[in-house]
Amino acid sequence: MSKRVLALLTLITLSLLTSLLITILIGVKAPTSIRDLGKYYVANTIHEAASPEAVTAIVWDYRGLDTIYETTVLYMAIIGGLAISAISRKIQLKTRIGLTGIARTATRIIVLLIATIAFAIALHGHLTPGGGFPGGSAMAITAMLIVPVYTLQSLLERGVTSTRLVAARGLALTALGLIAILPVLRGLEAVTNQKFYPSHIAGMLISGSLWFYNFFEFLAVASGFAAVALYLSAPEELYREELRGVE
């Protein structure tokens, strides 16, 4: 057997034997109850945050400020990538080598399915596990699928450029910031949920600001990663010409 397979088998037997030894000698006990802070969140999430889902309530209500800053960090990473991949003149690609008709039809069906699932995950994030981030990431996978199958030139012709997508992301981020800051005008703290926003609209449970946060976060993440997919797939000759022009 080759050296790698031998090393692998050694690692596996070593881990099994070590854990057996440690269990017999030291007598570790596996935990059987969660901490008191977790119990507080599980017990009070329906009264204080009007959402039956404890994790979404912690992410957007109890610790909402952390999440707003994390969205800003993601925005800065996208802008950093845009700064590296900037080309000074308009992109005119000569060849349009897409994939065959079979791939295009299959991609059309799959993209529709993924988009439906992504919307569903994002919009019911305050009721069941889900939320803005998983929905946005699933939508971003759609963008990464479309670009190789339908070529970059066909997307640019339809007006879907990376600058416009980054601008859309900026708009979604502004909407998020507005929802967070609006309670301050009434004298409450920023990122308040139940003291300012209604918990039911027309009889349906929307948990105050949680639904709006999830929706705008979905739009922000999807447009941000679609922009990344677009400026990652520009061919390398354009950048070589760009660097030669600089020198």
Partner 1 sequence: MIVALIVFTIALLLSLMFVYLAVTEKDLLKAIVFSAGQSICYAILLHTMAAPDIVMTYLAVSVGLYSALLVFVVSKTERYEA
Partner 2 sequence: MESFVYVLFIVVLTLNAFIAIYGIVFRRSLVKKLISLTILSDTVFVSIILVGCIFTYPIVPPVYSGVEGEKEFLLKHASDPLPQALVLTGIVIGLAVNALIAFGIIQVYRLTGTTDAKRAVSALVEEVMEE
The one of partner 1, partner 2, none whose footprint includes residue 42, by CB under 5 to 8 A per kind, is partner 2
The one of partner 2, partner 1, none whose footprint includes residue 193, by CB under 5 to 8 A per kind, is none
CA 152 → CA 114, 139, 166, distances in Å?
20, 18, 17
By CB under 8 A, is residue 88 in contact with partner 2?
Answer: no
With 0-12 CB in 10 A as exposed, 13-18 as middle and 19+ as buried, what is 110? middle
113-142 binders of partner 1 (CB under 8 A): 121, 129-131, 133-134, 137-138, 140-141
Minimum gap (Å) between residue 138 Cβ and partner 1: 5
Q: Which two tokens stand for residue 87?
A: 């080309």
By CB under 8 A, is residue 15 in contact with partner 1?
Answer: yes
132 contacts: CB under 8 Å, gap ≥ 6 = 122, 125, 213, 214, 215, 216, 217, 218, 220, 221
Query: Which of these ranges, 6-14, 39-47, 158-166, 177-185, lies near partner 1 under the rule CB under 8 A?
Result: 6-14
150-209 binders of partner 1 (CB under 8 A): none
Residue with tokens 């994939």: 99
- Nearer CB in complex with partner 1: 62/133: 133
Minimum gap (Å) between residue 43 Cβ and partner 1: 18
Helix axis angle for 162-181 and 210-232, nearest 10°, is 160
Residues in the chain: 247
Sign of the four-CA dihedral 198, 202, 207, 210: negative
By CB under 8 A, is residue 4 in contact with partner 2?
Answer: no
Please state, in angstroms and rounded to a whole number, the distance separating the CA atoms of residues 210 and 208: 6
Between 50 and 69, how does the x/- string for binding to partner 1 read (CB under 8 A)?
-----xx-------------
* E strand or H helix at 205: strand 204-205
- Nearer CB in complex with partner 2: 146/217: 217
| Residues engaged in binding partner 1 (CB under 8 A) | 4, 7-8, 11-12, 15-16, 55-56, 121, 129-131, 133-134, 137-138, 140-141, 144, 225, 228-229, 232-233, 236
